[in-house]
Chains A and B, each alone.
Chain A
């Protein structure tokens, strides 16, 4: 069965960096696009970054462009999100989500999330 396990969250001061990881299993990781989606407390879902199955194509939400980098290591079945220059408004639970086959950008399987807190 598909399993996605995020790690790396925590409390970090504004302006500092953090790297999230997502370990994937139960499917052929190298065949599927992946994405990071965050959810601030009591809010909806916000797509942050998307990556193609091979890692050559990456896409970002405007507020994180230039600060966040999505990447993947298909040999380790792991997805990453490098977050630099963190801001108070980046506080959220960060989920990794698998994309389905094809070009659609929704998540058919989700991890349990990791909490990132940037206190003011």
Chain B
């Protein structure tokens, strides 16, 4: 299953809302996770099962969607949120998108 993320780069100011998209080449049901990765660090799980926040993840992060179209929303960007975000499906052999770089506008 090919995962396609858009946009490749998103420029947003602190305090604003960021919306990141992820599309699957076939339905993955609710088997969708989101990760945050900062430079030189390991990925950190944010969201699993489309909309469930992982342990310790702030409420400003939310996930939605089903089937082939998914969205990660960050309601009010904080300085520490600027990073690369990946979606990953686990309906079949796990695959991830190429990432969306969220940068400070």
Seen from chain A, the residues whose Cβ lies within 8 Å of a Cβ on chain B are: 35, 37, 43-47, 50, 59, 61, 95, 100, 104-113
A44-B96, A44-B98, A44-B99 are contacts. A105–B90 as well, Cβ < 8 Å?
Answer: yes
**Cross-chain contact B95 with A47 (CB below 8 angstroms):** yes
**Cross-chain contact A112 with B42 (CB below 8 angstroms):** yes
**Cross-chain contact B48 with A110 (CB below 8 angstroms):** no
Which residues of B lie under 8 Å from residue A43 when comparing CB positions?
Answer: 98
Size of B's binding interface in residues, CB under 8 A: 22
**Cross-chain contact B45 with A107 (CB below 8 angstroms):** yes
**Cross-chain contact B43 with A107 (CB below 8 angstroms):** yes
**Cross-chain contact A104 with B31 (CB below 8 angstroms):** yes
**Cross-chain contact B43 with A110 (CB below 8 angstroms):** yes
Cβ distance A9 to chain B, nearest Cβ, rounded Å: 14
**Cross-chain contact B97 with A44 (CB below 8 angstroms):** yes
A109 to B44, CA, bound (A): 7
A106-B33, A108-B54 are contacts. A47–B42 as well, Cβ < 8 Å?
Answer: no
**Cross-chain contact A45 with B96 (CB below 8 angstroms):** yes
Q: Indicate if B21 sits at the interface (CB-CB under 8 A).
A: no
Cβ distance A41 to chain B, nearest Cβ, rounded Å: 12
Which residues of A lie under 8 Å from residue B90 when comparing CB positions?
Answer: 104-106
When each residue 61-105 of chain B gets 1 if its CB lies under 8 Å from chain A and 0 otherwise, what string results? Answer: 000000000000000000000000010101001111111000000
- CB nearest to A4 among chain B residues: B42
Which residues of A lie under 8 Å from residue B44 when comparing CB positions?
Answer: 110
**Cross-chain contact B98 with A47 (CB below 8 angstroms):** no
- The interface centre, meaning the residue of A35, A50, A108, A111 with most chain B CB atoms within 10 A of its CB, is A108
Query: Which residue of A44, A104, A105, A111 is within 8 Å of B42 (Cβ)?
Result: A111
A113 to B39, CA, bound (A): 13
Query: Which residue of B41, B48, B97, B99 is within 8 Å of A106 (Cβ)?
Result: B48
**Cross-chain contact A47 with B45 (CB below 8 angstroms):** no
A47 to B86, CA, bound (A): 13
